[in-house]
């Protein structure tokens, strides 16, 4: 008997090491086909130019991906100095060239200047939407549209290397930060212009588990037998649904209260002090530590905020 064309109901997380020149959605669909997964999503896109940490959520884990988007992230970026491009990265056309003439003290001042809370205008080549279409749709047609600046926080910028016209930095930042825009702005500050030549995401707050490459997944897929429903080699790589939200604190309820909680009703916490209502919690069963969903305190009980289907995990 053949497998169902609609896919399998699997739940869990794969932390993909996204390769170069592949969109995040293409990477997701490739991995989804390996697993024959019915439902999947990612927790924040990486440009085709970028590589590195790309968590992929399947099944019930997709209900948690929104909360992973709020996390801080770390990137290693190599900027090419002396050139601005139309896209602020190596994929665009060079629109301006200037000599590189800044001193070490100016570079140190730039790193300090761009550290902290600040307003940043998104790139025209971002996925933010204007009148229902992403900004890059307009940019590719040469149309400039108004963009609202957003408040971001650059927690830290570390100088890793400056060699000739290549500047390599490690940047830890808040959600919504565009590294291309940061590099372009920094190039303007230094007076020489700059664009992103290489970008790798190395860390996302709350994401745990070893990264796997598409090649490693393909090798595991070759050990599977989809026709008989044998996906054991791949399924062994799936991480728990909350592998993308480990920064969210845990709270436990009695296993007997699990059906009540997942049905949308409050439950009594086991040996936990109440916290403010705006604190989101990972709700698990005591002893078994099965993830039931997310909740918050109200009237000394844990109220459901986002529940998982126990039958599917």
Per-residue pLDDT of 18-36, as tens digits, reads 999 999 999 999 999 999 9
Among 194, 169, 214, CA closest to 23: 214
Q: How far apart are CA 60 and CA 105, in angstroms?
A: 51
Give me the pLDDT at residue 3, please. Answer: 42
Over residues 149-186, the pLDDT tens digits come to 889 999 999 999 999 999 999 999 999 899 999 999 99
Any residues with CB less than 8 A from the CB of 77 and at least 6 apart, and which?
168, 169, 170, 171, 179, 183, 196, 198, 199, 200
Average pLDDT over residues 71-91: 94
Q: Which residues are catalytic?
A: 47
The tokens of 187 are what? 């190039």
124, 144 Cβ separation under 8 angstroms = yes
Kindly indicate the confidence band of residue 4, based on its pLDDT and cuts at 50, 70 and 90: very low
The rounded Cα 253 to chain-centroid distance in angstroms is 29
* Residues in a beta bridge with 284: 252, 291
Kindly indicate the confidence band of residue 66, based on its pLDDT and cuts at 50, 70 and 90: confident
Kindly indicate the confidence band of residue 2, based on its pLDDT and cuts at 50, 70 and 90: very low
Sort strands 166-173 and 73-81 into parallel, antiparallel or unpaired.
antiparallel
The rounded Cα 189 to chain-centroid distance in angstroms is 28
Give me the pLDDT at residue 125, please. Answer: 59
Q: What angle do CA 36, 310, 13 make, to 5 degrees?
A: 45
The tokens of 88 are what? 């602020």
Residue in the structure block whose two tokens are 């699990």: 258
**Residue predicted with more confidence, 130 or 2:** 130
Give me the pLDDT at residue 1, please. Answer: 36
Residue in the structure block whose two tokens are 């990486």: 46
pLDDT at 5 over 70: no
Average pLDDT over residues 227-236: 96
First vs last Cα of the chain: how many Å apart?
Answer: 24
Q: Residues 205, 207, 213, 214: is their CA dihedral positive or negative? A: negative
**Residue predicted with more confidence, 127 or 279:** 279
Q: How far apart are CA 134 and CA 125, in angstroms?
A: 8
Share of the chain above pLDDT 70, in %: 93
pLDDT at 255 over 90: yes
pLDDT at 216 over 90: yes
**Residue predicted with more confidence, 103 or 65:** 103
pLDDT at 136 over 70: no
Of the CA atoms within 13 Å of residue 180, those in its CB half-sphere come to: 21
Among 186, 155, 193, CA closest to 171: 155
Distances (CA, A) of 290 to 132, 254, 268, 311: 39, 11, 16, 12
Q: How far apart are CA 22 and CA 36, in angstroms?
A: 20
Kindly indicate the confidence band of residue 138, based on its pLDDT and cuts at 50, 70 and 90: confident
- 3-class SS at 266? coil
Give me the pLDDT at residue 130, please. Answer: 67
Mean predicted lDDT score pLDDT of the chain: 92
- 3-class SS at 237? coil
Average pLDDT over residues 205-231: 96
pLDDT at 297 over 60: yes
Compute the chain's Rg from CA coordinates.
22
* pTM: predicted TM-score of the whole model, two decimal places: 0.90
Sort strands 129-130 and 133-134 into parallel, antiparallel or unpaired.
antiparallel
Q: How far apart are CA 23 and CA 47, in angstroms?
A: 6
């Amino acid at each position: 008997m053949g497998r169902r064309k609609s896919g399998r109901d699997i739940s869990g997380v794969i932390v993909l090491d996204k390769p170069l020149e592949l969109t995040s959605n293409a990477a997701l669909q490739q991995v989804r086909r390996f697993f024959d997964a019915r439902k999947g999503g990612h927790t924040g896109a990486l440009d085709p130019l970028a590589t590195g940490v790309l968590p992929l959520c399947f099944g019930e884990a997709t209900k948690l991906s929104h909360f992973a988007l709020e996390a801080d992230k770390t990137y290693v970026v190599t900027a090419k100095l002396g050139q601005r491009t139309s896209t602020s990265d190596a994929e665009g056309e060079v629109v301006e060239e200037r000599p590189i003439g800044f001193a070490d003290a100016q570079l140190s001042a730039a790193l300090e200047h761009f550290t902290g809370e600040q307003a940043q205008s998104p790139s025209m080549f971002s996925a933010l939407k204007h009148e229902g279409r992403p900004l890059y749709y307009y940019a590719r047609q040469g149309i400039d549209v108004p963009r609202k600046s957003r408040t971001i926080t650059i927690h830290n910028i570390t100088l890793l290397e400056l060699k000739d016209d290549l500047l390599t930095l490690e940047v830890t930042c808040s959600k919504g930060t565009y590294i291309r825009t940061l590099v372009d702005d920094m190039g303007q500050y230094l007076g020489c212009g700059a664009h992103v030549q290489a970008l790798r995401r190395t860390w996302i707050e709350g994401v745990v588990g070893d990264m796997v490459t598409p090649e490693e997944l393909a090798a595991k897929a070759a050990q599977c037998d989809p026709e008989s429903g044998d996906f054991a080699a791949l399924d062994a790589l799936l991480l728990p649904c909350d592998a993308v939200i480990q920064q969210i604190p845990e709270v436990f309820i009695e296993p007997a209260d699990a059906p009540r909680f997942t049905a949308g009703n409050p439950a009594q916490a086991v040996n936990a002090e109440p916290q403010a209502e705006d604190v989101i919690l990972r709700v698990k069963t005591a002893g078994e530590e099965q993830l039931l969903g997310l909740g918050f305190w109200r009237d000394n009980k844990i109220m459901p905020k986002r529940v998982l289907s126990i039958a599917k995990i």
